[in-house]
A = this chain, B = another copy of it.
Amino acid sequence: MTGSLVIVGTGPGKPELMTPATEAALAGATDLVGYGPYLDRVPLRDGQCRHASDNRAEIDRARQALALAASGRDVVVVSGGDPGVFAMAAAVFEAVETGDAAWQALDIRVEPGVTAMLAAAAETGAPLGGDFCAISLSDNLKSWTTIERRLKAAAEADFVIALYNPASRARPHQLAQAFDILRSAKAGATPVLFVRAAGTSEATVIATTLAAADTSAADMRTLVIVGASTTRKVGRWIYTPRSERGAVS
């Protein structure tokens, strides 16, 4: 008897931003495994077991899900956003690599979803209209030196930069440090967006500049986008033209 494991993302929050494929996976599960607030986005279904856990225990949650699937259950691991972007999919494959050899034979599948930076960009216009990068500022799993190196490279190569996990109670000062690095390589007038709760009914946007940005405005639910040299304001929108020469008339 073998079960299955599907790793899904609920999208940014609004039910209308969860894909039908993810909805179908959730409907077919015997067991849901995930961080409590993400599980809360999933409607209750009769006979379905829920295994809620703390946000920190990603690898334990992944192992629990794999063990359930190996015992014959049809398990769905629930992330927010897209499960492959700073979320549970990598944790599950880490657990496969370091765990029971039999787990490599399991039926494991990933369903893509709408990740936070896409929802944040859509709230504001099209700031990701050019080449861009995504960096998590959390240094739980990588060194601050690595983060600094990537920020510098991204600024010097003029990528639009999406910052995930810009701040938490344990790391209140890192976004300010990150902005110091970016200010040394980018113009003060560069557009900066703080998008809180993107893709939910509570979404708020602060549109500012690299020089003027107040980094204390970011919290765990904020996605920060720092523009490229061509990123600009038109009317109430911020966008990055497709051309490096600016808008084509």
Closest 10 A-B residue pairs measured CB to CB?
Answer: A90-B129, A153-B157, A133-B133, A89-B126, A104-B235, A93-B239, A16-B21, A141-B243, A110-B122, A98-B249
Contact string, A181-217, partner B, CB cutoff 8 A, digits 1/0? 0000000000000000001000000000000000000
The residue of chain B having its C-beta at the shortest distance from the C-beta of A95 within the complex is B247
Closest chain-B Cβ to A8's Cβ sits at a distance in Å of: 10
Please state if B234 and A122 are interface contacts (CB–CB under 8 Å).
Answer: no
Question: Complex: how many Å from CA A247 to CA B58?
Answer: 12
Interface CB pairs A-B, < 8 A, 30:
A12-B112, A16-B20, A17-B21, A18-B20, A58-B242, A83-B126, A84-B118, A84-B127, A89-B122, A89-B126, A90-B129, A90-B242, A93-B129, A93-B239, A93-B241, A94-B242, A96-B235, A98-B247, A98-B248, A104-B234, A104-B236, A110-B125, A110-B126, A112-B121, A112-B122, A131-B135, A131-B150, A133-B154, A141-B242, A150-B158
- Chain B residues with Cβ below 8 Å from A58 are 242
A227 at the interface (CB under 8 A from B): no
| CB-contact partner of A16 in B19, B110, B114, under 8 A | B19
- Chain B residues with Cβ below 8 Å from A21 are 14, 16-17
- Chain B residues with Cβ below 8 Å from A132 are 85, 133-134
- Chain B residues with Cβ below 8 Å from A104 are 234-236
Q: Other CB < 8 Å A-B pairs besides A83-B126, A94-B248, A98-B248, 14 of them?
A: A14-B21, A16-B24, A19-B19, A89-B125, A89-B239, A93-B239, A94-B242, A96-B235, A98-B249, A112-B118, A131-B134, A133-B134, A150-B159, A153-B157
- Chain B residues with Cβ below 8 Å from A4 are none
Closest chain-B Cβ to A9's Cβ sits at a distance in Å of: 9
* Oligomer: number of copies: 2
Closest chain-B Cβ to A66's Cβ sits at a distance in Å of: 12
Which of chain A's residues 100-156 have a Cβ closer than 8 Å to chain B? 104-105, 108, 110-115, 118-119, 121-123, 125-136, 141-143, 146, 149-150, 152-154, 156
